[in-house]
Every structure is written in C-alpha cells, then in structure tokens.
Amino acid sequence: MLSDQSLEQAEWSVMITISVCLIVKDEEAVLARCMDSLKDIADEFIVVDTGSTDQTKQIALQYTSLVYDFKWDDDFSAARNFSFSKATKEYIYAADADEVIDEVNRRRFLDLKRVLIPEIEIVQMYYTNQLQYNTTYNFDRELRPKLYKRLREFVWVDPLHETVRQEPLLYDSDIEIIHMPEENHASRDFSTLKKTLEKHGTLSEKLRQMYARELFIAGEEKDFLDAEKFFLFLSEQSDCKIDELRTVHCILARAARIRRDTDAFYKSVLKLFAVGDPPSEICYELGVYYMSKKEEEEAILWFYNAAYETTPYLNLKYKEEYPIRMIAACYKELGDFEAARTYEALLK
C-alpha cells in the first residue's frame, strides 16, 4: 500500500490514460447519466451489450463506436473479461450503468489521473448510498477496487532469497461512486445464482455471503425455500466456519418458519445461540414466530432484542427499523395505541 504523501510528491507531466469498461443490458434509463459523469475522465469507452432490447446500444453509440455484442451466459465475470480484453489504455475503470460520479468526485478523479504513479496497480474507491436503493451490499459506504492497471509488470523483491512480488500495489482513494439503480435486481440475481449452482454444484464463499444478504434484503418466501437445500448442505459441512454458520442458520430458520416446521426452526435458532452473539435477524425471526402465534408480549421481547441488544449480520434494517415497526404493530394488537405511536415516531 502506498501512502497519500507518495502520491502528493509525484509530478508527472502526462496524465495516465483510462479505458472505461461497461457491461450493459436494457440500461436506457441510466446509461447516459453514467457516461456523462465519466466523459471527461475516459480516454475511451468500451461498452459490452449482453442482449438489450431497448435503446441502450443507440445511447452508447452517441459516446463511442466501441460497442460490442456479447452472448449472455449467466456469467458476469466472462462479460467483464471480454470488456477488459477490448481496452487499450494504461488503466481500466470498471463501471456499472447505474453509477454516477458527481462534480466533487469527478475533480478528485481528474486529480488522480494527474498524479497516479505507475507502481500502483489497483485504486480503490468508495461505493456509496447502497442502502438508500435497497441493493445487496450491506453498507452505506465501503471501499471497492475500481481502477486497474491494464498490463501488470512483474518485479523481483528482497535482497536475499529474492522472489517476484505477487500482491498488487493498492491505493485507497477518497473518490466516491454513487450507486443509483432504478430498480432492484434481486430476481435476476437469484436466477443467476440458481443456474450457477446447477452448473457447478456450489458457490464461492463470496457468492454464498452475497446470496444470503440478498435473500434478507429482497428475498420473497419462494426465494428462501429455493435456497434452503443448498444452505442445509453447507450447514452439514465439517469445515463450516462460525461466521458462515450464522449466515446459514439465519436462512434455514427463515425457511423453516415459512414451512411452519417448528422443530427445524428451533434447531437453527438454538445453534445460533450456541455459537454466541446471535444476530439481529434471528431475534427478529423469533419475534415474527411468536407474533404468528398471537403471543404479542413475547414477540415484543424478541423484536426489542433485535432492535437494541444485538447486531445485524445480513441486513442493517433488521436493527431498529424493521423490529421497531413490528413492535408498534404488536402494541396495536394489544390495544396499547399510545405505545404503538411512541415506536412509530422513532421511524420518522
């Protein structure tokens, strides 16, 4: 990792050049907004279309002639790799059509172009406003790799027992990328995940976590039931880590509650308490379970635990917002409308 001071001291007479690579499908509502925010930064745009039926390609052609068709095969990595293969500039910026860079961050990006030293191979930028648009990522602001050196140089290091440096040199910038999707892509993502499971029989650790997060952010009952078999398989693996057990049993508890299988529901709940620090999501599940049995006072206890005594693991809204709304609903069922209004006021 190189320091900010190293960047500030660099004086390069020529800016780095950047290929902005996008993969798109039916993005006519947002594509121009994205490309307008990047047109002063990009030295070339590479747009890879995976099967648009709207005006996406026509909009892209207003900014670049480098528009390519790519047959979609439920593999975003394959499409990204194809887009990168068409790039010709020194660095590649991986963009999504529903992203925007505002004026402040556009200037930061242009400053970065002027001072970036060639040793840096990856620049991380902040992804922001995730929760506002109900997307999969469980954060408001998080660093993500966005700018990549197109051709990497291999360098020998260490004066003795020399070896080739394998880790890329990263720089954490202060640039913020605003994610502003027009709609939630959960149904598309669930379909892709199911096809990946059918094809490969498993998912990477990263995709397993993303699958679980998306289920608790946008999943419907059918999505949880579809996912149950895979997460049950994971729960039976001897090398399943504690963090992953929390993910797995949150999913299994929800699926069991949907199926009204009390034994399976409590089996997952108790395992989460056994490993310690049960997440807000599981306390919320207990609240919903008791509410379904018309035991509102018991439900309030668990919703309160979700809101104030525990930490969310998959979706931040399971702390405070969701359980507080349910506490208010419970008090209404009990006829305590004053208490209900008190909790409803916390949501405003």
Q: Which residue is listed with tokens 């892509």?
A: 185
Backbone angles phi, psi at 304, to 5 degrees: -65, -40
Determine what percent of the chain is predicted with pLDDT higher than 90: 69
pLDDT digits (tens, 9 = 90+) for 47-71: 999 999 999 999 999 999 999 999 9
Region 200-213: mean pLDDT is 88
Other CB atoms within a 10 A radius of the CB of residue 46 amount to 26
CB 101 within 8 A of CB 18: no
Strands (E), the chain: 18-24, 44-49, 67-69, 91-95, 99-100, 122-128, 141-149, 156-157, 163-164, 170-179
Weakest-pLDDT range from 16-30, 237-251, 275-289, 328-342: 237-251
State residue 85's pLDDT score: 97
Backbone angles phi, psi at 339, to 5 degrees: -65, -40
Backbone angles phi, psi at 126, to 5 degrees: -85, 125
CB 91 within 8 A of CB 150: yes
pTM, two decimal places: 0.69
Which fold would CATH assign to domain 4-179? Answer: Spore Coat Polysaccharide Biosynthesis Protein SpsA; Chain A (3.90.550)
> Which burial class, exposed, middle or buried, applies to 196 when counting CB atoms under 10 A from its CB (0-12, 13-18, 19+)?
middle
Domain boundaries, the chain: 4-179, 186-345
Region 24-49: mean pLDDT is 97
pLDDT digits (tens, 9 = 90+) for 247-293: 999 999 999 999 999 999 999 999 999 988 899 999 999 999 999 99
d(CA 251, CA 244): 11
d(CA 261, CA 58): 52
| Domain 186-345 coded CATH 1.10.260.40 | no
Other CB atoms within a 10 A radius of the CB of residue 151 amount to 7
**In sequence order, which residues have a C-beta less than 8 Å from that of residue 8 and are 6 or more positions away?**
115
> Does residue 328 surpass a pLDDT of 80?
yes
State residue 29's pLDDT score: 95
State residue 4's pLDDT score: 55
State residue 97's pLDDT score: 95
**In sequence order, which residues have a C-beta less than 8 Å from that of residue 162 and are 6 or more positions away?**
156
d(CA 236, CA 201): 15
Instruction: State how beta strands 91-95 and 141-149 pair.
Output: antiparallel
pLDDT digits (tens, 9 = 90+) for 113-158: 999 999 999 999 998 865 554 454 445 678 899 999 999 888 887 8
CA angle 321, 216, 124 (to 5 degrees): 90
Higher pLDDT, 44 or 168: 44
Backbone angles phi, psi at 196, to 5 degrees: -65, -40
d(CA 272, CA 284): 13
d(CA 219, CA 212): 9
d(CA 255, CA 228): 6
